[in-house]
Amino acid sequence: MKVILKKDVDKIGVSGDIINVSEGFARNYLLPQGLAVSADGGNVKAVEHHKKVIQDKVNTEKKHAEKTAEKLSAHSCTIIKKAGEEDKLFGSVTTADIEEALKKDGFEISRKDIVIPEPIKALGIYTIPVKVYHGVEAHLKVWVVKE
């Protein structure tokens, strides 16, 4: 029996897949649990339309993310910290510090999307990767200067 999955089912398929299962499995488990619907003409067309709408939305979001990544890569932010001898910082620059500096400059980037490979504990210029969207990454220049 052909069914269209409404939700992801382990070892069976993901949402939107049209799969062939035994009638008993479909009738006794998938359909009553609301995990699938029968694959008749109307349901197939509805799923294909839904997939197209989602793909269009993903493409739009990705284009917007690429523009944001381009702006971020061209941007640099300055973080002012207290430093001691040999230009070593008291503490370190964190993702929260970078997030705050970006908010002041008009960017809405979460600190979870800012990737600092190792703690910044000295003055200087650093290139920090920022995850803007799935598969889209920007490289932000961060200037750490003495107070």
Q: pLDDT tens per residue, the chain (147 residues)?
A: 999 998 888 989 888 888 999 999 999 999 999 999 998 888 888 888 888 998 999 999 999 999 999 999 999 999 999 998 888 999 899 999 999 999 999 989 999 999 998 889 999 999 999 999 988 999 999 999 998
Which letter does DSSP use for residue 4 in this model? E
Burial class of residue 121, CB neighbours in 10 A (0-12, 13-18, 19+)? middle
> For position 145, what pLDDT does the model report?
93
> For position 42, what pLDDT does the model report?
86
Please report, for residues 13, 26, 44, 119, the alpha-carbon distance to residue 10 in angstroms, rounded to integers and kept in the order given: 7, 15, 22, 39
Amino acid in position 89? L
d(CA 114, CA 140): 9
> For position 86, what pLDDT does the model report?
86
> For position 80, what pLDDT does the model report?
92
> For position 29, what pLDDT does the model report?
94
> For position 47, what pLDDT does the model report?
85
Give the pairing of strands 18-20 and 120-122. Answer: unpaired
pTM for this model (two decimals): 0.69
Token pair for residue 78?
Answer: 């300055």
Q: Which domains does the chain have, with CATH numbers?
A: 2-64 (3.40.5.10), 65-146 (3.10.430.100)
What's the N-to-C CA distance of the chain in angstroms? 71
Q: Please tell me whether residue 107 adopts helix, strand or coil conformation.
A: coil
